[in-house]
Structure 1
Amino acid sequence: MIRIVFLDRDTLSPETVVRAPSVPHEMVVHARTAPHEVAERIRDADVVITNKAPVRAEALAGAAKLKLIAVSATGTDIVDLAEAKAHDIAVCNIRNYAKHTVPEHTFALMLALRRSILPYRRSVIEGRWQQAAQFCYFDYPIADLGGSTLGIIGHGTLGQSVGKIAEAFGMTVLAAGRRGATELKSGQTAFDEVLKRSDVITLHCPLTPETRGVIGAREFALMERKPLLINTGRGGLVDELALEKALDAGQISGAGFDVTDGEPPTPDSPMMRIASRENVILTSHVAWASREAIQALADQLIENIELFLAGTPRNLVG
């Protein structure tokens, strides 16, 4: 009998169906698991499912039966991969489930900011249209996406999907090479050149030691066209204090973020300080969370477990 422990079921929507694996098993489901509770809850597990509950070295040391950590997300930074490997514990993740939902959210942020949708909506509610005494008014800037340049940092599945949508809008697409890279792959543009030439910059790379703070004070200073900055990737990709200062200095024209460095952000964080600005939209890490995408994630999660137990693992990490 396989013992499966789901550490944080509440990270998937209540309407999502997480079916039972087609092997003899016992499933223990926790709504949430605090970091200090992980070790005890996984002690007798053969398989652990986690989205955001951290599985670190001290917890792994006491999990003698553990064979698989199935991450119910793409990012795996909540797992100590080196320690899992040392204990011969496999780690798998979810891939390619968000190829529609994240790009669509990216463009929702992009369009809302370029066309000042939220300020115009608010002003209509406040009676500005009647005050204008004509058919329209021009209180907020509006700019087309067509004819502008989009810089994509992180050109994997999601970045490529965003690029295809951008081309349909008539945008010029630049795929950035790695920061500091001296050699570029085919179709890439040097990182700094992308920052200088882009009217909109969007982030779709994973959070790693290399990419943490990939956009900071130095990078903002290079943004000659005062672009919009869109981040539906991970919060730690952007230095949030530098972002606040860049907005204050007019180095960028706006920011659309779905992620923060630490979630939820503290009330006094830079992201909460800027959240009410007219040229900022902050959403609560929901770019991935369409009904269709979450169900696809849940289905893939169980399939990953079944395939591992059948001896044909997929999506292994590390």
Structure 2
Amino acid sequence: MAKFHVLLTDYAWEELEIEKQVLADNDVELIVATAKDEDSLAALAKQHQVDAIMTNWAQVTEKVISASPNVKIVARLGIGLDNIDMAYCTSKGILVTNTPDYCLTEVAEHTLALLFACARKVAMYHHDTMSGKYDLTAGPIMRRMEGQTLGIVGLGNIGMLLAQKAKCLGLNVVATSRSGKTMDGVETVDLDTLLAKSDYVSLLIPATPETKKSFGAEQFQKMKPTAYLINTARGAIVDHDALAAALEAGQLAGAALDVQDPEPCDLTIAPYNDPRVIVTPHAAFVSVESLENMRGRVSQQVVDCLQGKTPENVRNGLTVG
């Protein structure tokens, strides 16, 4: 019998060889959940009295965590921590970790891909031609991307990489920065200025109680009617009812949403069924390289904690011992 037991609440890849190998080499058994609702996860944690929890997108609540008093770490397979009860973990001395840098390149690339798709009407033309419509003049007019302005809401690690890549394409870049970060060649402005100047608005801020639905009717009214919204951060940041209304009113030209709220979203309703909106299934983080990096590192975070060492990327300020 293994010395330690780890509950894996959910995962978004095809197999678990990396996780199983890292954990098994260190006398840790992986318990894989088959349902990710709160009651099922709590029951599984209690049944196996797990020592750690690894989670992708499932909600890891106080009920789930407290089901096993042995839990020493909750490790997020990803970046955002909005699915973990951080306050409860901290109050009980339970470490919370993530991998904040594993998919910087992928998210920046996906954001640029969506920007290109909006600017050059790639998705719209593809939809039309697959429906038997071949019309160059359909949809909004196209402008040269070079010389247009990309506004980045959140000049963090991903935002800075996106800005670097965008500048290489000849885009002007402005950004907001809550942390005060600056970057050569990027003008730091307030949000209202960014919205007024930008042809493409990229959201790259975390989902917190303060940012939930922070992008709504007021913000859309301040955007150019020719501008596009691109969200590769978190779906909860955007008020999607307000986005649907803004599109209907012609307050912006379109949107590209890699993240939605909830996920999966109802693709039969606005704004998701609007032909001016591109939807991808929370895919920005994915590549062979990013997943291998993240899965191995998170597994090692768990091993380090269980072996009495403080792992990398502890997000709630705690240490082992």
TM-score, normalised by the number of residues in structure 2: 0.88
Q: Is the 8 A contact 1:7 1:50 kept in 2?
A: yes
Query: 1:150: how far off?
Result: 0.6
Matched, 1:231 2:231: yes
> SS of the residue aligned with 2:74?
strand
Q: Is the 8 A contact 1:98 1:288 kept in 2?
A: yes
CA 1:193–1:16: 2 relative to 1, 3 Å:
farther
Count of residue pairs the alignment pairs up: 304
Deviations 1:131-189 (A, max 9, x none): x7xxxx433422222100010011111111111111011111111144xxxx9654521
% identical equivalent positions: 30
Aligned to 1:50: 55
CA 1:234–1:274: 2 relative to 1, 3 Å:
same
Aligned to 2:109: 104
Gaps of 5+ in 2: 317-321
> SS of the residue aligned with 2:270?
helix
Gaps of 5+ in 1: none
CA 1:109–1:139: 2 relative to 1, 3 Å:
same
Q: Is the 8 A contact 1:228 1:252 kept in 2?
A: yes
Aligned to 1:41: 44
CA 1:147–1:300: 2 relative to 1, 3 Å:
same
Q: Is the 8 A contact 1:38 1:53 kept in 2?
A: no
Q: CA RMSD in A?
A: 2.1
Output the amino acid matched with 1:54: Q
1:1-318 paired onto structure 2 within 5 Å? 1-9=3-11, 11-14=12-15, 17-18=18-19, 19-21=21-23, 22-43=25-46, 44-125=49-130, 128-129=133-134, 137-140=136-139, 141-178=141-178, 186=182, 188-224=188-224, 226-266=226-266, 272-310=269-307, 311-318=309-316
TM-score, normalised by the number of residues in structure 1: 0.88
Output the amino acid matched with 1:40: A
Query: 1:218: how far off?
Result: 0.7
Q: Is the 8 A contact 1:258 1:287 kept in 2?
A: yes
Output the amino acid matched with 2:42: A
Q: Is the 8 A contact 1:253 1:279 kept in 2?
A: yes
Query: 1:127: how far off?
Result: 5.3
Query: 1:244: how far off?
Result: 0.4
Query: 1:306: how far off?
Result: 2.6
Cα distance in 1, alignment partners of residues 17 and 283 from structure 2: 15
Q: Is the 8 A contact 2:152 2:159 kept in 1?
A: yes
Query: 1:121: how far off?
Result: 2.8
Query: 1:191: how far off?
Result: 1.2
> SS of the residue aligned with 2:89?
helix
Query: 1:96: how far off?
Result: 0.7
Cα distance in 1, alignment partners of residues 90 and 108 from structure 2: 33
> SS of the residue aligned with 2:278?
strand
Output the amino acid matched with 1:149: T
> SS of the residue aligned with 2:202?
strand
